[in-house]
Amino acid sequence: MGQDHRLGTRRWLAKAAHDAAVNVFVGHVAKGAWAISHSQRAQDAELHLLFARGKRPDRAALESFVARQPLIAISHDPGDGADPQAEAPWPGQQLWLELLRDGLTFDVSGLTPGPASPFPEFAHRFDLAALPDAAEHEALTLRPGPHLAGARNSLPLQRALLALACDFVRHFEDLAAVGWGPASSAIGRRFFESVASAWLDGGPFPALGLTAFTPTPDGALQTVGLDFWIGQELRIEPPLSHDRVAATRLGVRIVNHLVIGGAPAVAEHIVAPDGMRLVLRPSRSRALISVWRE
């Protein structure tokens, strides 16, 4: 038998920014979103800091940024008395720094006057009028250090990464948006800082941005990027998916539930705030969790 849970109001609470973003997000999925494969996204588990073209910071700007951040330090500077060409862990990214925050190290690459980081491919946008492109933006890449690659999915590591990205957003006015690789998403700076900070302060997981939702050919609504967090994607089945706004709101709340509690091993019965009884059922392959009305 499956488990039966009534989700508390606090877990289902979403800030007004989330509800507003749901209405804006629906219909703003880029054409060809399904062409970006899981393997392509998984290899891109990093944050992209998108600056207005010509406004990328240099090493001196990063040093000034760190000097104003009591929780951040430069733990390694490959350009400090060494040939940066000799130890570039990221191909083509010779200008980079290693930053320390919360006892964890993160590399930021793509500093000027060197080349920008490769511009990511986006399929989803949040709080942005259009998908960012390389004609108007340049990217820095912020990622955990290579020695942390084995822990890339851990919540403490990713929370520290998001906290560091929020520090960048608050400091650099020319930072226009943040990209998140596993969801192929581009997130406006204000929305990113708002929802990421809320989660770091104990609020709901920022499902709109760190995951995305896209319709499937058979009429369901499926997440993109949730597999990075729990190892599975969420699929809201018809007829629940017919109203895309309502289905996306439902998906946002269920994603928060799953990130908190983990993916169910067996069918799990839940009750929505409106009293609707639902069942979360893992697929045989464990690739998907389907949501059905009981």
**Tokens 């920008």 sit on residue:** 116
Tokens 């596993």 belong to residue: 182
pLDDT of residue 152: 79
The model's pTM: 0.84
Whether residue 178 is predicted with pLDDT greater than 60 in this model: the reply is yes
CA distances to 148, 235, 258, 268, 293 from 1, in Å: 39, 21, 19, 9, 17
**CA pair distance 178, 261, nearest whole angstrom:** 27
pLDDT tens-digit map of 37-58:
443 443 467 999 999 999 999 9
Please tell me the distance from the alpha carbon of residue 202 to that of residue 31, in angstroms, as a whole number: 35
What pLDDT is recorded for position 94?
66
DSSP 155: H
Instruction: Reply yes or no: is the peptide bond before residue 118 cis, omega within 30 of 0.
Output: no
Cβ-in-10-Å burial (0-12, 13-18, 19+) of 75 comes to: middle
Residue 213 · residue 138 · CB < 8 Å: no
CB burial of residue 165 (10 Å; 0-12, 13-18, 19+): buried
CA angle 110, 164, 151 (to 5 degrees): 90
Percent of the chain whose pLDDT exceeds 70 = 80
Task: Look at residue 98 in the predicted model and tell me its pLDDT.
Answer: 94
More confident residue, 151 or 267: 267
Residue 151 DSSP label: G
- Does residue 177 carry a pLDDT above 90? yes
Mean pLDDT estimate for the chain: 85
Tokens representing 228? 């990075």
Adjacency order of strands within the sheet including 268-271: 3-6, 268-271, 277-282, 288-293, 233-236, 221-224, 212-215
Query: What pLDDT is recorded for position 13?
Result: 35
| pLDDT at 149 (0 to 100) | 74
Which pLDDT does position 274 carry in this prediction? 83
Q: Which of 20-29, 136-145, 149-158 is most confident?
A: 136-145
Q: Per DSSP, what are the bridge partners of residue 145?
A: none
Q: Say yes or no to pLDDT of 69 above 70.
A: yes
